[in-house]
Structures are given as C-alpha cells and as structure tokens.
Amino acid sequence: MKIAIGSDHAGFELKEELITYLKSKGIEIIDKGCYSSERADYPDFGHAVAIAVLNKEVDFGILMCGSGNGINMSANKHNGIRAALCWNAEISALARQHNDANILTLPARYITTQEAQKCIDAFLTEQFEGGRHTDRIKKIDC
C-alpha cells in the first residue's frame, strides 16, 4: 500500500509521528509536506495530496492541520476526492464503509497520536460497502 501524507505547520509533529507508524506497518509513504514546524499554508498540502490520489500515484491520502477543517476543505475542492474529517476510529471506519472516502483528515490539535493511529487503522482496513451508498457517492461531485 502507498499513501500520500501532508500537513501544515500545526499538523507537522503529528505527521512525522504517523509517518514512522505507517512505515513500521510496511506502508510506503509519499510525504507532500510541510517539512518543518514553520508557518505553512494548508491548501498547498491539501491540493498536493488530493492530486496524488486523483492521479493514482497512491492508494489513499492522509491530511492534517490544526482543526482539520481547512486542509479538508482544500482537498475536497477536487472532483473525485472524498476527504473525511475524522476524530475517532468509528467515524474513520464509517467514512470508508459509507462514503468511500479516499483521504483521511485528522484534527492535529484535537487528537492524540494514539487516537490518530486508531483512525488510520480503521480507515485502511475498512472497505466501501457499495449498495445503497453508491448512488449517494455519485451525487457528491459537481
């Protein structure tokens, strides 16, 4: 499995911890930035990860900023991206099962590393259920 990951400065520390965690699970990572805790604009990294997902360079994306909202909004501007802001494993699982989410977004200032890891594990192990959810997914893109 290959994942693109990105964050702004507020998510930088969590991103670095999650890269280590993901690599320990044998997952290949493409780090789209930022690369330090110096101020950085979340749209730059949200767009970079979204483009990697759309171009099928990776299987999924993971994003984070302070609240998760800004970077999530940026990624979701791309047709074909279904970025889901998640804060626990149950929400993460439902994002895959019901929404066929292809990017997991985390609120870096409001989640522990351990909870973020649980979110990732749920997101990466669940599958889209299809069925009644398929028609809804088709209505998302404009």
Catalytic residue among 34, 47, 65, 86, which? Answer: 65
Q: At what angle do helices 113-125 and 12-24 cross, to 10 degrees?
A: 50
Amino acid in the structure at residue 135: D
To the query of whether residue 86 is one of the catalytic residues in this protein, the response is: no
CA 38 to chain centre: 21
Catalytic residue among 9, 47, 78, 98, which? Answer: 98
To the query of whether residue 65 is one of the catalytic residues in this protein, the response is: yes
* Active site amino acids: 65, 98
